């Protein structure tokens, strides 16, 4: 059995449970410690160690659309290119530097990448190892929303709004290819959110707008 852990800048939660608030001033080490404290005291060694799937909010991980680049020779070169692009775009405001995960080879066409806080990832690796927990996967929460909405909508293109406590991640495309991605931080509320939806409906009128809400209490163990 694998437990799900949701980590935002302002709250952390175990899947199936209500979120616990974290001060916005807390750094990555403190946020990770607060999140892992929700596990209690895991027991087990070797292959019996508890497994953990971590979902990151827009405050810790953001999308980046990497354009097609001809002449790339290696994954290291592609990742270096994506990271250089991220430093001027999606990585702005991420605490403790950034790292990039590419979802595909940019030599073949535009690819969606994940730009994550390096300090948070290091803290997760360090503290789960000390706790004896197997860190099975770390993913941006908006990919879970993308998968869910894609399954519901089929292959038809949509504009997905993945809304979490830290911000709104916007992904335009179908369940095979993303053509546009952006993140708004902080998350607009009330009239500001209504205005955002109206602008998006006008500027992307060719596709329906779908919204997915961060709700760890609805999730459970995998």
100-148 pLDDT, tens digit per residue, is 887 776 667 778 888 899 999 999 999 999 998 999 999 999 887 765 5
Q: Could you count the other beta carbons within 10 Å of the beta carbon of residue 38?
A: 15
Instruction: Report the C-alpha gap between 65 and 110 in whole angstroms.
Output: 7
Q: Which pLDDT score, from 0 to 100, does residue 146 have?
A: 64
Least confident stretch, 20-24, 85-89, 180-184, 215-219: 85-89
Domain ranges of the chain: 2-59+118-218, 61-113
Q: 51 and 32 in contact (C-beta within 8 Å)? A: no
Mean pLDDT comparison of 24-28, 113-117, 215-219, highest-scoring range: 24-28
* Contacting residues for 67 by C-beta, under 8 A, at least 6 apart: 106, 110
The predicted model scores a pTM of: 0.85
Of 23-27, 44-48, 139-143, 182-186, give the lowest mean pLDDT range. 44-48
Confidence class of residue 95 from pLDDT cuts 50, 70 and 90? confident
Q: What is d(CA 166, CA 187) in angstroms, rounded to the nearest whole number?
A: 6
pLDDT of residue 23: 95
Cα dihedral 37, 41, 45, 50, rounded to 10, equals -50
Calculate ∠ Cα 50-61-162, nearest 5°: 95
Task: Say whether 112 sits in a helix, a strand or coil.
Answer: strand
């Amino acid at each position: 059995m694998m437990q799900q852990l949701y980590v935002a800048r302002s709250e952390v939660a175990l899947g199936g449970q209500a979120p616990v608030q974290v001060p916005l001033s807390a750094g990555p080490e403190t946020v990770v410690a607060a999140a892992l404290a929700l596990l209690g005291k895991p027991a087990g060694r070797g292959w019996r160690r508890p497994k953990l799937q971590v979902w990151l909010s827009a405050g810790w991980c953001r999308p980046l659309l990497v354009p097609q680049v001809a002449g790339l020779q290696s994954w290291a070169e592609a990742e270096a290119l994506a990271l250089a692009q991220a430093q001027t775009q999606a990585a702005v405001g991420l605490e403790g530097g950034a790292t990039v995960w590419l979802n595909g080879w940019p030599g073949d066409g535009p690819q969606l990448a994940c730009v994550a806080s390096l300090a948070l990832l290091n803290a997760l690796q360090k503290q789960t190892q000390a706790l004896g927990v197997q860190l099975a996967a770390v993913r941006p929460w908006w990919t879970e929303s993308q998968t869910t909405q894609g399954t519901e909508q089929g292959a038809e293109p949509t504009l997905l709004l993945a809304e979490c406590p830290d911000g709104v991640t916007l992904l335009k495309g179908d369940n095979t290819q993303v053509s546009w991605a952006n993140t708004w931080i902080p998350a607009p509320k009330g009239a500001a959110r209504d205005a955002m939806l109206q602008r998006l409906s006008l500027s992307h009128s060719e596709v329906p707008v779908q919204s997915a809400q961060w709700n760890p209490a609805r999730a459970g163990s995998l």
